[in-house]
């Protein structure tokens, strides 16, 4: 390797590590500034500055990874097949998505929900989530599971009427964390990704799989999901569920463990089947909800399950579809949740038992709700349309029943979305009632969430190619079925600092 090439590798590594540091540190610094009382009347200003810095850093990180040769970059200690800092195609695609979601939540949050302590919790939770998406180290993942769950529990418990939801959340999360910690230790003692794995390692893999089931809200561990949306501030519920940290954990700890380093493990296959049932079940539940929050919670449960269902695919196309759903559902459901929160802050709880007639007094909200709803269920021209095509085509090639269940959940979700829209915005209107005009910060946040859904839907090739490359590396095969380097072994393509 020439001196120029060495300098290039070193420069890329230094910039990658610096960007990860900025993404994680910016919201932490903003949280410290808010918590120390520097901005008692306007904590949103420093918080927005911190999250904008994280978003810009995440966008630059994604661009840098795509502009280079598209291999994984690793920094720091390596343990159990994962490094302390790990940047690959999944990190490059998901980090900007999570940063945009966190920023939109902050901008739309009503002022009365954004006191300094709540703002500091939101920012610290965002920083922990960014850190989680930048690592593949098993023990760090366990620690960050705890750190990301704490702000959710504290916020829910402090909400009037939120103690029952906090109790349910705490019960499930404690069980999930116990399984996650025990399973990770067993996997490190007897690594399933190495030859000679025995009962200890396999037991660890199943314990991690159970932890993923719990944290993802997969049947039969789904009760906390709608409860959180009903009892917590929507900012808390969305920040806890939309990044889907359990799916990321499944990718890092369970992908590629079958056949000692290639393919998909039995744990993910079981997770996939349960997730398929949850996707259809959650969509059916969304059809019969009697209030808007219950509708959002069950719809989010259904869409989240589709991601996990696709992660057990044996072909890159299906895994690619899961990643695309991960991004599209996160953006679209965050948009629906924020529209609902904005309406609630003006008009109080919204029922789905009788038409509310909100179109006249909130036409902009009605338009955003409909567009986000359609973007979540596969409207042509949106990213979810591309995602559904990939995952349905991949799953039909792999398992017929999987494709049929994906189609069923999509159809039911579509009916539920239109039912929710008609009940909230349709019906008789009060001509002399108050007009709920959209605020500029709400318009900016909702537009920022909506634009990527349509831009990536109309021009999906760069994202699809990038995620396909990441899927091929994880599955250990190319799109044509040719074997490539094992994802959890130390691949020759992985670049480490010299």
pLDDT, tens digit, 9 for 90 and up, residues 83-99: 889 888 889 999 999 99
Task: Look at residue 487 and tell me whether its pLDDT is greater than 50.
Answer: no
At what angle are helices 163-189 and 224-231 packed, to 10 degrees?
A: 140
pLDDT band at 241 (very low <50, low <70, confident <90, very high): very high
For position 193, what pLDDT does the model report?
A: 63
For position 322, what pLDDT does the model report?
A: 87
pLDDT per residue over 146-192, tens digit each?
A: 999 999 999 999 888 889 999 999 999 999 999 999 999 998 887 77
pLDDT per residue over 110-146, tens digit each?
A: 888 888 899 999 999 999 999 999 998 999 999 999 9
**Can you tell me the mean pLDDT for 204-229?**
92
pLDDT per residue over 179-208, tens digit each?
A: 999 999 998 887 776 666 678 878 888 999
pLDDT band at 287 (very low <50, low <70, confident <90, very high): very high
Task: Look at residue 305 and tell me whether its pLDDT is greater than 60.
Answer: yes
For position 496, what pLDDT does the model report?
A: 47
Query: How far apart are alpha carbons 478 and 92 in whole angstroms?
Result: 20
Task: Look at residue 277 and tell me whether its pLDDT is greater than 70.
Answer: yes
For position 81, what pLDDT does the model report?
A: 66
Most confident of 78-82, 327-331, 390-394, 396-400: 327-331
pLDDT band at 32 (very low <50, low <70, confident <90, very high): very high
For position 209, what pLDDT does the model report?
A: 92
Continuous segment of H or E residues that includes residue 407: helix 400-425
3-state helix, strand, coil in the chain (%, to 5): 70, 5, 25
Task: Look at residue 13 and tell me whether its pLDDT is greater than 80.
Answer: no
The DSSP letter of residue 3 is H
Pairwise pLDDT comparison (101 vs 268), residue with the higher score: 101
Nearest to 489 by CA among 468, 474, 472, 469: 474
**Can you tell me the mean pLDDT for 363-380?**
92
DSSP letters spanning 321-371: HHHHHHHHHHHHHHHHHHHHHHHHHHH-S-BSSS----TTT-HHHHHHHHH
Query: How far apart are alpha carbons 52 and 490 in whole angstroms?
Result: 34
For position 415, what pLDDT does the model report?
A: 95
462, exposed or middle or buried, with CB in 10 Å at 0-12, 13-18, 19+? exposed
For position 401, what pLDDT does the model report?
A: 80
For position 432, what pLDDT does the model report?
A: 60
For position 446, what pLDDT does the model report?
A: 96
Query: How far apart are alpha carbons 317 and 323 in whole angstroms?
Result: 10
**Can you tell me the mean pLDDT for 350-371?**
89
For position 478, what pLDDT does the model report?
A: 53
Query: How far apart are alpha carbons 442 and 148 in whole angstroms?
Result: 26
With beta carbons less than 8 A apart as the criterion, state whether 19 and 64 touch.
yes
Q: What sign does the CA torsion over 315, 318, 321, 325 have? A: negative
Q: What sign does the CA torsion over 318, 420, 336, 153 have? A: negative
Nearest to 372 by CA among 449, 467, 427: 449
pLDDT per residue over 383-411, tens digit each?
A: 999 988 888 776 666 677 877 888 899 99
pLDDT band at 435 (very low <50, low <70, confident <90, very high): low
For position 484, what pLDDT does the model report?
A: 52
Pairwise pLDDT comparison (116 vs 80), residue with the higher score: 116
pLDDT band at 414 (very low <50, low <70, confident <90, very high): very high
Query: How far apart are alpha carbons 227 and 337 in whole angstroms?
Result: 15
Task: Look at residue 279 and tell me whether its pLDDT is greater than 80.
Answer: yes
């Amino acid at each position: 390797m020439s001196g120029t090439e060495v300098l290039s590798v070193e420069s890329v590594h230094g910039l990658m590590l610096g960007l990860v540091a900025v993404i994680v540190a910016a919201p932490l610094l903003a949280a410290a500034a808010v918590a120390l009382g520097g901005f008692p009347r306007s904590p949103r200003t420093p918080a927005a500055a911190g999250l904008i810095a994280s978003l810009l850093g995440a966008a630059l990180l994604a661009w840098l990874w795509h502009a280079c040769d598209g291999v994984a970059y690793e920094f720091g200690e390596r343990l159990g097949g994962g490094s302390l800092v790990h940047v690959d195609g999944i990190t490059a695609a998901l980090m900007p998505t999570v940063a945009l979601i966190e920023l939109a939540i902050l901008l739309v949050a009503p002022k009365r929900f954004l006191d300094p302590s709540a703002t500091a919790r939101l920012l610290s939770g965002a920083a922990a989530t960014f850190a989680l998406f930048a690592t593949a180290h098993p023990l760090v993942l366990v620690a960050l599971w705890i750190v990301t769950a704490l702000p959710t529990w504290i916020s829910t418990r402090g909400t009037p009427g939120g103690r029952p939801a906090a109790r349910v959340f705490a019960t499930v999360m404690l069980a999930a964390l116990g399984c996650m910690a025990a399973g990770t230790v067993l996997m490190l003692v007897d690594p399933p990704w190495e030859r000679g794995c025995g009962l200890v390692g396999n037991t660890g893999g199943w314990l991690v799989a159970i932890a993923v089931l719990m944290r993802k809200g997969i049947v039969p561990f789904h009760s906390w999901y709608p409860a959180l949306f009903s009892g917590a501030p929507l900012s808390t519920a969305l920040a806890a569920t939309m990044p889907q940290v359990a799916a990321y954990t499944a990718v890092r700890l369970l992908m590629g463990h079958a056949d000692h380093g290639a393919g998909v493990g039995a744990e993910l296959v079981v997770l996939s089947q349960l997730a398929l049932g949850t996707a259809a079940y959650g969509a059916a539940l969304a059809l019969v909800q009697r209030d808007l929050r219950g509708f959002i919670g069950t719809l989010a449960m259904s869409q989240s399950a589709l991601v996990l269902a696709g992660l057990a695919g044996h072909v890159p196309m299906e895994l690619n579809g899961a990643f695309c759903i991960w991004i599209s559902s996160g953006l679209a459901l965050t948009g629906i949740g924020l529209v609902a929160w904005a309406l609630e802050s003006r008009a109080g709880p919204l029922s789905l038992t009788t038409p509310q007639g909100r179109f006249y007094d909130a036409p902009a909200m009605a338009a955003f709700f409909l567009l986000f709803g359609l973007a979540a269920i596969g409207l042509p021209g949106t990213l979810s349309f591309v995602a559904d095509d990939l995952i349905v085509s991949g799953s039909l090639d792999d398992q017929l029943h999987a494709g049929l269940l994906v189609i069923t959940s999509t159809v039911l979700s579509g009916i539920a979305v239109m039912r929710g829209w008609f009940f909230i915005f349709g019906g008789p209107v009060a001509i002399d009632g108050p007009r709920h005009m959209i605020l500029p910060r709400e318009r900016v946040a909702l537009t920022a969430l909506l634009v990527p859904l349509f831009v990536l839907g109309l021009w999906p090739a760069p994202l699809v190619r990038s995620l396909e490359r990441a899927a091929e590396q994880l599955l250990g095969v190319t799109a044509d079925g040719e074997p490539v380097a094992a994802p959890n072994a130390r691949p020759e393509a992985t670049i480490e600092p010299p």
